[in-house]
Structure 1
Amino acid sequence: MSDPIDYGALDAGRDCNYWTFDPTLAAAAERAYPPEEFDWAAPRLEAFGEVVGTRVVENSERVEANPPTLHTYDRWGEVANRVEYHPALADTERITYCDYGLSHDVFHAPPGREEPMGLTHALTLQAVLSFADPGFVCPASMTVGAALVLDRFGDDDRLEEYLERLTTRDPETYIEGAMFLTEKQGGSDVGANETVARETDEEGVYRLTGEKWFCSNVDAEGTLALARREGAPEGTAGLSLFLVPHTTADGELNDQLYRRLKDKLGTLSVPTGEVEFRGAEGYLVGEPESGFRQMTAMLNYERLSNAAASVGVMGRCLLESKVRAANREAFGKPIDQHPLMRRDLVEMSVDYEAATAFTFAAASLLDRHHREDDEDAYRLMRLLVPIAKSRTAREAVDTASYACEVLGGNGYVSGFATERMLRDAQVLPIWEGTSNVLALDVLRVLEREAAHEVFVPAVRERLDGVDHDSLAAAGDTVASELADLQRAMATLATEDPEYAQLKAKDLVDYLYDVFAAAELLAVAQADIEAGDGRAALVARSFVRSRFGRRSARGRGIDDGDRLALDAFDAVVGHARVEPAALADPTPADD
């Protein structure tokens, strides 16, 4: 076994390189990128990890202490709609959009390449950013998402100009994106939206009237909003999509009122407000009455962005926990030498490995669909994306909560990263659809897309390549669980809709666990072939925790599992493990 990472060399989870201190994230990204793209991206991701772990994290702390404030009116009582930002946020924006091209490089060839990068690259940058500022990842994500919509559906010169500015590296001309969907009376029921769009004498230009209730990045110039044209049908089928800028094409303040900013629990770096359209100028995007369908092109990306943010939050909280546990002494030795803390850190690490592997597997599928219009990739992606968003968001909250406990009283105190991460993480189960909304989406995808037809072969393909003796028992367990999962899906398909909805969240968790286990086993097999057995320990631990321990006699207390004691340096510290040293595991279902 090689030496583990020395987390005790850090005082806290900052002033370090988030990329090099997180081999889990780096390895998952490498699997998701096409090889030639990762060769180009790797040194840039390493440089980005350094600047985020130093300069951006410092900027983030300044913005957290001085969050955006809204000046709705000027001194004369005229509408100003001016959001005042701390200068540190502008520095983070320039680093993200201009120096590292988060929104540029997936639409235009970046320096040193002849072709644009895949969406996985933007998602990886966002995951690293979330180590420092999960709130800022919201506008960064919406900037890419808005550009995706305009790139696909924008069909006039006016929209082309906004697309260029959303995807530029030019510090003088870049703008950010946003999407205003939620209305007070509708919430998740987007079809209940009441905002009305009235045609003007200018083709493609409308005047919007109505209220939007949760508008993050409230003053963005690249804002997309849904509204119903006069005479259009009710429900989502009658919604059209419009670009509604902060300032109009002639440079005037648009006819809208930013009434107030929400007094939020967390994500303070992104201003979220209430907006009243008072005849605001909007530019029709694509075909009328196709707005909801067009927004789904953005929604899939946004949900994966949410998962990437969750991964970043988990990674930062795990790093803070490892550093504190290595430095804090209690009862005569560092607390990471005590068995219970070792168990906790191992379990947090395994959960993080699974969340990261699942998220980047879904990102790879999104890229395949985006580039190749691969129908099977689309069907599997449509199933995995809401699952990834739902489970990783909850895992982020749980990880942040326990990280507070690892740090003790300090972890609950303002100024410590864990307290801030817990507040920021709590929005992740809400953004881009609550767990209930996502579970219903999974049922729809299984019914309308017959996604089980691509899910089951994808799991089997991963399991079929697993042939190392140390993985055999875990592989057999997952194969058995896949069979049980198929029976469960078949049962729900024949039950009445109310019963299917009742069990939908159980199904989401089961789908996540089975796919994540298969993915981790496939990674473990590949790593063993490359000479490292660490991932096998992770995969076996995940399988046991999800499918073995819960049903074991005596709840696993007498099962002899000593992984947290015997393999702590490998799982938590990323020490290399010789495959020959892998002991025969106890069957996961014993």
Structure 2
Amino acid sequence: MDSSIDYGQFEEGRAVNYWNLDRTLRRELQRIYTDDEFEWAHSRLEEFGSIVGQTIADNADYIDDHGPELEPYNKHGDVWNRVRYPAEQLENERLAYEMGIVADAFEAPPGRDEPMPLSHNLAMQYLLCYADPGFDCPVAMTAGAALVLEKFDDGSLSAYSDALTSREYADLIEGAMFLTEKQGGSDVGANETRAEWDEDAECWRLTGEKWFCSNIDAEGTLALARTPDAPDGTDGLSMFLVPHADPAGVDGPLTKGDRLEDGPLSPGAVNDQLYRRLKDKLGTIAVPTGEVEFDGAKAHLVGEQERGFKQMTEMLNLERLSNAAASCGIIGRVLLESKIYAANREAFGETIDQYPLMRADLVDMAVDHEAAVAYVFEAARLFSERERAERTGQDADDAYRLMRLLIPIAKLRTARLAVETASYGMEIHGGNGYVDDFVTNRLLRDAQVLPIWEGTENILSLDVLRALEREDAHEPLFETIEDRLASVSHPALAAAVETVETEYHDLAGALATLAGEDAEYAQLSAKRLAHYVFDVFTAALLLEQAQTHLEAGNGRLALVARRFVANELEAQTARGIASGDRLALEAFESIVQYAPVDPETLET
């Protein structure tokens, strides 16, 4: 059994191995992977954790100050659409993609006969976000574009699929998703971009404007447009792949190797679009985000006409999980930096992690991190189960129905938690946390976009209602919660189980009430409902895991589960002030430093 971690041995949260220090992630992956998957992945993730903690983390700080730059026109005034990247960003790309961050989930990696589950891609994104959540955006969209082509392409775009999933950086292209338009925002059905078939060029041509385009110069960009005579709203949208380069002017997709070897495209080889400008953003500097005007841009239809929105939602499920994994990675890095700083910073003759208020803060930050990671990777497990079933022609209806409910909640809850945790991490560091020289400044700026990307909290809350109404997602939700609570029998967990059972029945009653109310009242309650589902589901999940760990001889997770239940589900008289609770003092080493706990020492 692992001993506790002495965070005082580190100066800061870099030049370290993030995989080795994040025992929470290790526990969750060991739970959701098969034994042979984890045996194969462990050494790979350990190597990647070192690469991120050493090289990528240092490069990320430089990129934040010297990010990509756009040159829309060349010196002769011709459209050039060149994005200039610093060498440090190209190095980060090569390191991450050649480690298989996308490829391993789509093609069998070396040493395996089949691909890893998509949860492995999310685990690597999580580790990457310890260093650079901005760079994770292109990684996530590359995986998303690859998934869409795997599901819906008839084989005509196989060269793009192969390039999106390449393990060789020189043969790679990245993905993107151009969804947002100025007049629409979250209202995708207001899309005004048009697609017309060009008989002479034998391709589709897109005309219109996209307003918020991340990874603007990706070669594997997916965009929605409306074909002639298509109906209004989302039902009339079709999906297209719009290359950066004119597909008639190059032999196959324009890869990273082509760009590095040949430099920027000549104006004649640029697709018919203008990258108007890059957004001057608060954070996520590594990903170039801008505005694009399609002026008859050549494009390939993906799948069937007027099925684009449905196809895009498949990508959106993975993107939302990627967003949640990124949030968890930021929380993990902020927590690590806070633990190290508190173990080294002296005030009034003691390191500040010896003071009760700081101990309570670090304990609750650690519990939030445990809860977020457990929930997100349970949703990732269900997503991976559904995708594997589809690949083999099997049914995974219950997994799909439950993941449709869990995924928007995962993104909703963890994105807000990342912002709150990063903000408080700055406070722990005092004035240093507020300045650019320290990473907490950047982590807060990067975290702030996570509640916005892939749907705001209000949009996600409405999606929760749709999952309940259209998929009857409450049925697998209730069954799962009941099964988990029924598996918990240890006396040390009895009081927490009783609380969760009470809240579970109240949740079921709340859902029954909403089913009988009008749509307006249901929408009014949707956000509270989403958080309620997170709290009850996560509590049951943590208690089930705590039972397993108690049986194996370690009571640490029982302390985590009980603290989560107390914080999120118990009603506390006088706000807990008169309760006599001293857990943050007595269990600090266990919860914050991962010290094991003898189950016999736990009070029942």
Residues 1:293 and 1:2: Cα distance change in structure 2 (over 3 Å):
closer
> Residue 105 of structure 2 aligns to which amino acid in structure 1?
V
- Give distance in 2, aligned partners of 1:519 and 1:455: 12
Is 1:376 paired with 2:398? Answer: yes
Aligned counterpart, 2:261: none
Is 1:328 paired with 2:345? Answer: yes
The answer on whether the counterparts of 1:204 and 1:284 sit within 8 Å (CA) in structure 2 is no
Aligned counterpart, 2:545: 523
- Give distance in 2, aligned partners of 1:581 and 1:184: 59
Aligned counterpart, 2:475: 453
**1:247-396 mapped onto 2 (5 Å cutoff):** 247-249=245-247, 250-251=249-250, 252-372=269-389, 373-396=395-418
> Residue 188 of structure 1 aligns to which amino acid in structure 2?
S
- Give distance in 2, aligned partners of 1:69 and 1:556: 52
The answer on whether the counterparts of 1:2 and 1:577 sit within 8 Å (CA) in structure 2 is no
> Residue 145 of structure 2 aligns to which amino acid in structure 1?
A
| Deviation of 1:360 (Å) | 0.3
Aligned counterpart, 2:114: 115
**What do residues 102-126 of structure 1 show as CA deviations (whole Å, max 9, x unaligned)?**
1111111100111111101000000
Secondary structure of 1:172's match? helix
Structure 1 runs (4+) deviating above 3 angstroms are none
- TM normalised by structure 2 equals 0.95
- Give distance in 2, aligned partners of 1:148 and 1:240: 17
- Give distance in 2, aligned partners of 1:560 and 1:467: 26
> Residue 168 of structure 1 aligns to which amino acid in structure 2?
S
- TM normalised by structure 1 equals 0.97
| Deviation of 1:203 (Å) | 8.8
Is 1:541 paired with 2:563? Answer: yes
Aligned counterpart, 2:491: 469
The answer on whether the counterparts of 1:213 and 1:273 sit within 8 Å (CA) in structure 2 is yes
Secondary structure of 1:230's match? coil
**What do residues 270-297 of structure 1 show as CA deviations (whole Å, max 9, x unaligned)?**
0000000000001000000000001111
Aligned counterpart, 1:571: 591
| Deviation of 1:248 (Å) | 2.2
| Deviation of 1:34 (Å) | 2.2
Aligned counterpart, 2:579: 559
- Give distance in 2, aligned partners of 1:6 and 1:360: 27
Is 1:483 paired with 2:505? Answer: yes
Aligned counterpart, 2:170: 172
| Deviation of 1:29 (Å) | 1.8
| Deviation of 1:67 (Å) | 0.5
**What do residues 520-547 of structure 1 show as CA deviations (whole Å, max 9, x unaligned)?**
1011011111110000000000000011
Residues 1:203 and 1:37: Cα distance change in structure 2 (over 3 Å):
farther
Q: 1:436 aligns with which of 454, 458, 475?
A: 458
Q: 1:236 aligns with which of 219, 228, 234?
A: 234
**What do residues 22-46 of structure 1 show as CA deviations (whole Å, max 9, x unaligned)?**
1011111221222221111011101
**1:182-261 mapped onto 2 (5 Å cutoff):** 182-201=180-199, 205-249=203-247, 250-251=249-250, 252-261=269-278
Residues 1:201 and 1:13: Cα distance change in structure 2 (over 3 Å):
same
Aligned counterpart, 1:142: 141
> Residue 333 of structure 1 aligns to which amino acid in structure 2?
E
> Residue 473 of structure 1 aligns to which amino acid in structure 2?
A
Aligned counterpart, 2:22: 22
- Give distance in 2, aligned partners of 1:497 and 1:179: 31
- Give distance in 2, aligned partners of 1:34 and 1:140: 25
> Residue 20 of structure 2 aligns to which amino acid in structure 1?
T
Aligned counterpart, 2:254: none
Secondary structure of 2:285's match? coil
The answer on whether the counterparts of 1:19 and 1:50 sit within 8 Å (CA) in structure 2 is yes
Aligned counterpart, 1:55: 55
- Give distance in 2, aligned partners of 1:556 and 1:364: 36
Secondary structure of 2:169's match? coil
Secondary structure of 2:105's match? coil
**What do residues 496-542 of structure 1 show as CA deviations (whole Å, max 9, x unaligned)?**
11111011000001000000101110110111111100000000000
- Give distance in 2, aligned partners of 1:298 and 1:256: 24
* Structure 1 residue runs without a partner (length 5+): 585-590
**What do residues 469-500 of structure 1 show as CA deviations (whole Å, max 9, x unaligned)?**
00011011101100000000111111111111
Secondary structure of 2:18's match? coil
* Structure 2 residue runs without a partner (length 5+): 251-268, 390-394
- Give distance in 2, aligned partners of 1:118 and 1:575: 31
**1:413-428 mapped onto 2 (5 Å cutoff):** 413-428=435-450
| Deviation of 1:202 (Å) | 6.4
Secondary structure of 1:76's match? coil
> Residue 542 of structure 2 aligns to which amino acid in structure 1?
L
C-alpha root-mean-square deviation of aligned residues, in Å?
A: 1.0
Secondary structure of 1:431's match? coil
| Deviation of 1:85 (Å) | 0.5
- Give distance in 1, aligned partners of 2:600 and 2:470: 47
The answer on whether the counterparts of 1:204 and 1:283 sit within 8 Å (CA) in structure 2 is no
- Give distance in 2, aligned partners of 1:238 and 1:120: 32
